[in-house]
Structure 1
């Protein structure tokens, strides 16, 4: 069927030409012509059941193929998810291990720094103590050396006085014997004087030893007293620092 409208208002329908320009045909309803069913060619009969069955088998095969593909893709996705979870867990464990190692290294480094600081402070305190001890020892040795030098010089002077005293005794003894020109001394007097001289030397030696011992004890007492006073000062400073 073919209908066309133009300037002439001509309609082609069923190979008939109708002029619809007139009022009569313009108000007429459109009538659907009778449809002619297609002719089945002569020959073998068409089995629609077979066609439908084949169509259903084809649709089933396509559906099964889609199901297989879907499950395969689903399995692949699940495997990927499991693999991803394993990677995440592994990465998390590696991360925690790295953090643990890093924290241990930080602790070791902090401990080394603290030990190094304590060692340096101890060495500095020891060095200062050695310097203070050397200074005190030097000052004490200077004072003690001067004292000992005075003591030895006094002992030498005293020895010279002893010699003069001995000579004076001998001269007085010779004077009593009326021997003014020749200071003759008998052998017994010489032996007696020698014994007295040796005894006096022993006494002077013992005196010197005792004086040296007393001086050493005084020095030790002074050193211990200074140490006690220094310790008391340090303890007082520490207590003040703790109170603050």
Structure 2
């Protein structure tokens, strides 16, 4: 038994060697790093990286993290897509309160898409003003909040229990949910709504002119305001709830 434990310990130490990561590095003092990056119109977010986005003239990223770990926060721009990831190893051994803080400033009239793959929350502090904007949760556990003003807004839950909370104004609102995530677009003014629901969660949205709903799951869709025209496909136990 002791031999087995010794072998397991050796394998663990080898996996956390300097060649593989920084398991035994201390956090260090909290420091700040500011970098200008190439122009981008989309963001891919991985791992537990809380992100705040604000209006800016230049494309700039600010990272606050431990001095011994900040170099492990990776950010690259390729084909106008900014990718953010945490390359530090064995993070489960470290204090979870010492999560990195990431802030981005960029022109919000050209931001087109944010794709979330991790557990970090995303907060857009100013109004996104691009013609079209897409938010996609791919297995995301984090919560995304945003304010939008433009022609079309697309809110999609593909997997994961995270939430998307949107406010603002758009001509056309698209909502897609095949996960256990929660979508609240009740504070988005829209003329037209196209919604596909394959979830057990309630979707909150509305439209003034027309709503096209496809309900395949057990989750309800609460419409407020109620549209003048409603086209409905019901193939699940979920129902449409119209506001009074």
What is the TM-score when the length of structure 2 is the normalising length? 0.15
Report which of the two has the higher share of helix.
1
Query: Of the two structures, which has the highest relative contact order with CA contacts closer than 8 Å and spacing of 6 or more?
Result: 2
Report which of the two has the higher share of strand.
2
Max radius of gyration: which structure? Answer: 1
